[in-house]
Amino acid sequence: MGMEPAYLLHQIGYRYPANKFVLDLERLEVPAGKIIALVGPNGAGKTTLLLLLGLLKKPTRGDLKFFHSDPWQSRELLYEKRKEVVLVTHHPYLFQGTVFENLVFGLRVRGIPEPEWKGRAEEALAMVELDGFEDQPVKGLSAGQSQRVALARAIIIRPRVLLLDEPTANIDASMVSRVESVISEVNAQLSTTVIFSTHNFSQAFRLADQVLYFLDGKQVKYSHENYFSGRAETDGAISWIEPKPGAKIFFPGRHQGHLTVVISPEKIEMFPASQKQTIPGPNIFSGRITRLEMAENNLALLRMSGELNFRLNRPLSELDKKGISLSSPVLVRFAPEAVELIRK
Amino acid sequence: MILLELIKTIWVSLKVSGSATLIASLLAVPLALFLAGNEFKGKRLILLINQTWMAAPTVVIGLLFYFLLSRSGPLGAFGILFSQTAMMIGQIILILPLIIGFAYSALRQVDQKARLTALTLGANPSQAGWMVIKEAKYALIIALLAGFARAVSEVGISMMLGGNIRGETRNITTAIALESSKGEFSDAVVLGILLLGITLGINLLVNSGLREKA
């Protein structure tokens, strides 16, 4: 295996009917047998890309090769190739019935002989630490357990490619490391190519051989709003970079040399500019709201342009309470601990 | 009313409306599955027409098919006016939009995710479609029950296309209409209670079946 590409995408575009392109990729090569992380804010096109890689949506334009063949050239080939790749979605859907019935669905449609099912189900459940859950009805499972059943239902198939959309988003903190281990184990034991999306930078760097960044449907290199680069200086306990003169970003620890840092949009707080005197620092920046979009769950996606530009997500109710709207002057603040370092 | 005649009347109701429900479901469920799983131009129009059609009065459908099936009508050659077949056709037309509408919303609730999940796990489109139907089975059964209830309780179509022939096309509702027109209100009320009793019995049977499986 080794150098063979699992996917080769060339000038791939995807758009939903009557919409602008949500994905627009010049070229993307995914080597087989590797772990790849897709990182980017909501709406960056990660999920759409996973649907394309899962052969569940056909690119609107461009050329997609899956292990050297074009899966969309005929129905027969498409159905055959789909059997080699599995996507576990963000909020996975479990079929009514028991955990076992869910696990063996992929085995049944592949015509794998029934006597093999039990052993493989046990093995898959053990990997996600749900031993003995075979006969449980899926109705009573917690969100985290459901997510792990969905993961087991995918790995039981032993696919060539495993696609995971935010695999640890709904999982208890105690189980995150187990799921991360599954990703590594599947990759190491079965040479499965694993591609997962995440908001968690440290997770991406910890697990993946390669991290790909996305913004607004395009692949980017460190150019998304909340990435900042600069030469780090330190006083021993705390370090900072100065991406623009006078605008310093502080983070804990002793760091030197050129660094790129990123601040997750969820970790940025916002205040009306009038409170400037009362908010303690560090990492306070002023600017104006230059973009405001509504997202699901009553969340507003905001962009502040000012000394530095930030993208942030706040609940709508908070905007109302603080009287903040488009073009309002605001302050943003984040804890030094919220700054994640990316080493080059 | 003689007991034998009563039994025949009930049997005509059950047979005609039961068959109409069965045939209508075989047409409606695949169509609803297609509508729920696909986005295309004109889909909203189809749904709008379907919703409007749901409200069609039974006498209007009866009248339309009366013209179509009468001897001088375009389908007159079949000679099926005033038969159980004609009643069945009329009832199928009546309940088709109802079952499509209910089945569509039932399948729509589960469709996108269940279908996608089945496909990514390696199912072909017909296996995935079957999975979606299985996931929506309770709501689909309710859709069929609603269709049956509408068919068994209508009177306009049965009267116009069946002709209320004793022992042939007389069903419970046309019998009720006849008894009331004769002034035999107590018989009409008894038949009405009987009709409600039958639908109650069927619903109880289906519900207990569902509960056992759940």
User: What number does CATH give the domain A227-342?
Assistant: 2.40.50.100
pLDDT, position A3: 63
In this predicted structure, the answer to whether residue B1 has a pLDDT above a threshold of 70 is no
A5-220 domain in CATH 3.40.440.10?
no
Nearest to B131 among A79, A87, A95 (CB): A95
Let me know: does B172 contact B194? Beta carbons within 8 Å: yes
Question: What letter represents residue A176's amino acid?
Answer: V
pLDDT, position B211: 78
Q: What is the mean pLDDT of residues A213-236?
A: 77
Domains of chain B: 3-213 (1.10.3720.10)
Q: pLDDT band for position A343 (50/70/90)?
A: low
State how far residue A109 is from chain B, nearest Cα, in angstroms. Answer: 6
Structure tokens of A46? 């990660």
In this predicted structure, the answer to whether residue B101 has a pLDDT above a threshold of 80 is yes
More confident residue, A224 or A147: A147
List the single best residue of B40, B117, B131 to mutate versus A (max A Cβ within 10 A): B117
Closest CA relative to residue B117, chosen from B103, B106, B102, B129? B129
A5-220 and A227-342 share one fold: no
Q: pTM for the full model?
A: 0.70
Nearest to A96 among B113, B121, B135 (CB): B135
First-residue to last-residue Cα distance in chain A: 28
In this predicted structure, the answer to whether residue B50 has a pLDDT above a threshold of 90 is yes
Each residue of A94-115: pLDDT tens digit? 999 999 999 999 999 999 999 9
Q: Do B121 and A54 touch (CB under 8 A)?
A: no
Cβ neighbors of A99 (< 8 A, separation 6 or more) are: A125, A130, A133, A134, A135, A136, A137, A138, A141, A149
Structure tokens of A222? 């460190």
Each residue of A58-77: pLDDT tens digit? 999 999 999 999 999 999 99
- Where exactly are the structural domains of chain A? 5-220, 227-342
Give the chain B residue nearest A152 (alpha carbons). Answer: B121
The yes/no answer to whether this complex scores an ipTM above 0.85 is no
In this predicted structure, the answer to whether residue A44 has a pLDDT above a threshold of 90 is no
Calpha distance A63→A61 (Å, rounded):
7
Counting residues of chain A whose pLDDT is more than 70, the rounded percentage is 95
Each residue of B62-84: pLDDT tens digit? 999 999 999 999 999 999 999 99
Q: Phi and psi of B98, rounded to 5°?
A: -65, -50
CA A322, chain centre distance (Å): 31
Name chain B contacts of A154, Cβ cutoff 8 Å.
Answer: 121
State how far residue B125 is from chain A, nearest Cα, in angstroms. Answer: 9
